[in-house]
Amino acid sequence: MEKTTEQPARRFDVMSIFVGTGLVAALVVPWYGLTYGYDTLLWALFIIFMFWNGLSITAGYHRLWAHKSYQAHFIVRLVFALGGALALQNSIKVWCSNHRNHHRYVDDELRDPYAPVKGLWFSHIGWMLRDYDASKLTEANITDLTADPLVAFQHKYYWLLAFTLNVLAPLGLGALAGDAIGGLLLLGFLRLVICHHTTFFINSLAHYWGDQPYSDENSARDNAYVAWLTYGEGYHNFHHTFQWDYRNGLRWYQFDPTKWLIGSLSLLRLTYALKRVAPEKIEASIVQMQLKQATTRILKFRDLNADEMLSRLDQEYDKLLVTLNAWASCRHEWLELKKANMTHKWQHNEVRLKLRQLEASLELQRFRWQMFTQQFA
Ligand SMILES: [Zn+2]
Ligand SMILES: [Zn+2]
């Protein structure tokens, strides 16, 4: 008997949205522009809509609701909830349920909704084109969200909000700018298609292309180019390793406008309780990855006196870890003293001096480690 693989039913409604909006953005938008032109005001509104849409997903759906990496004032949550309906990526409830399953079962072919192991196309868009079980709403993993009236409201009126924001608002704003059709084409179609695919890159490209400096236990990668396309979400290896940190781009020079937005709003007290992973934990995971990579390379070229090299590598690793832990506990002590308002100034100065000394020895130890591991690069 011939063996057949049963595939879930096709989602023609979803397909028509992607194909329809894609064709309008690729053909009608440039034709209209060449024939009638778009007003500068419409381009300015287009940029505002792009950021509203993109950041509502990254700062709102992703870092606020799915991961709870910070808290936000009602006004901020309202703006993100509306921006999420504008983004046409399903309600907060469905999006977060899928995303939490993605982190929990990452790379599991059956349970990870976007499963990168099933190919670039599947993780980018294919997972939405059929009625897969993995992408169905799991109420059990979002019980903390269902109690939020704003989340419940957005879920209940999702399609009404989505239609109003994607069609009526662009038409209305376009009319105010003197070109309703131009408004619909730029703020509606073009913005939606660009934002769809740039967000989808986080599930596709960010699991295929880039480095794994923090962990290789799953396929997530850090990639600066993808970060530029995804409002900072391209530092996906860091994110999958430390998912509740409000930052994805850890360093100041890494492009992460989502982190900058959350940080700036905290200065206005519109966001608060921003979560950060302790620096020693981050550094320990980097060093552990470097140890893993150097060990693999030493074993690959056994003729290089492997046993001696491995033992020296372990020694350097242990020394670095001891210094890192000493620095971390001293830093903790210093932060506690600062919190207690430095009642004993002499004690404060003593701890500060010890911290400086440990910082210097950590720097030296890091340098030794880099020099040692780089020879196997
Ligand atoms: Zn995530
Ligand atoms: Zn991911």
pLDDT in tens, 223-271: 999 999 999 999 999 999 999 999 999 999 999 999 999 999 999 999 9
**Residue 2 located in a structural domain:** no
Quote the ligand 1 centre to 152 CA distance (angstroms).
Answer: 21
Closest ligand (CA of 246):
1
What type of residue sits at position 280?
E
Q: How far is the CA of 251 from the centre of ligand 2 (A)?
A: 20
Q: How far is the CA of 72 from the centre of ligand 1 (A)?
A: 18
Separation between Cα atoms, residue 362 and residue 113, nearest integer Å? 42
Shared-domain flag, residues 62 and 177: yes
Are 307 and 186 part of one and the same domain?
A: no
234 and 286: one domain? no
Q: Do 228 and 99 belong together in one domain?
A: yes
Ligand that comes closest to the CA of residue 204: 2
Which of 243, 272, 301 is the endpoint of a domain?
272
The residue out of 246, 272, 298 marking a domain boundary is: 272
- Whose tokens are 């778009």? That residue is 38
Q: Minimal CA–CA distance to 190: which of 24, 53, 339?
A: 24
Compute the distance from residue 50 Cα to the ligand 2 centre, in Å.
22
Q: What's the gap in Å between 195 CA and the centre of ligand 1?
A: 17
Return d(Cα 319, Cα 136) in angstroms, integer: 48
The residue assigned the tokens 């505002």 is 48
Tokens found for residue 281: 């934990």
What's the pLDDT tens digit per position in 170-203? Answer: 999 999 999 999 999 999 999 999 999 999 999 9
Question: Both 38 and 67 in a single domain?
Answer: yes
CA of 311 to the centre of ligand 2 (A): 36
User: Quick check: is 1 in a domain?
Assistant: no
Residue 254 Cα distances to 111, 207, 222, 240, 350, angstroms? 32, 18, 11, 17, 35
**Number of compact structural domains in the chain:** 2
- What is the spatial distance between Cα 166 and Cα 211, in angstroms, rounded to a whole number? 36
- Alpha-carbon distances of 206 from 18, 120, 198, 236, rounded to whole Å: 21, 10, 11, 6
Work out the angle at residue 162's Cα, subtended by the Cα atoms of residues 158 and 165, and round it to the nearest 5 degrees: 135
Q: What is the pLDDT of residue 298?
A: 85
Q: What do you get for the CA distance between the two ends of the chain, in Å? A: 53
Under a CB-based contact definition with an 8 Å cutoff, are residues 101 and 136 in contact? no
Ligand closest to Cα of 237 equals 2
Is residue 272 classed as helix, strand or coil in its secondary structure?
strand
Q: What are the Cα distances from residue 296, in Å, to 36, 42, 185, 306, 310?
A: 61, 55, 53, 11, 10
**Rounded Cα gap, residues 294 and 309, in angstroms:** 10
Calculate how far, in angstroms, residue 248's C-alpha sits from the geometric centre of ligand 2: 12
pLDDT over 70 percentage in the chain = 97
Which range (41-45, 180-184, 326-330) has the least confidence?
326-330
Task: Using the predicted structure, report yes or no on whether residue 27 has a pLDDT greater than 50.
Answer: yes
CA of 367 to the centre of ligand 1 (A): 33
- The residue among 61 and 4 whose pLDDT is bigger is 61
Cβ–Cβ < 8 Å for 150, 78: yes
50 CB contacts (<8 Å, ≥6 apart)? 191, 194, 195
Same domain, 206 and 259: yes
Can you tell me which residue has the tokens 């150097």? 294
Instruction: Please tell me the distance between residue 245's alpha carbon and the centre of ligand 1 in angstroms.
Output: 10
CA torsion 284-339-263-325 (nearest 10°) is 0
At which of 272, 304, 330 does a domain end? 272
Tell me how far apart the alpha carbons of residues 34 and 28 are, in angstroms, rounded to a whole number: 10
The reported pLDDT for the residue numbered 339 is 79
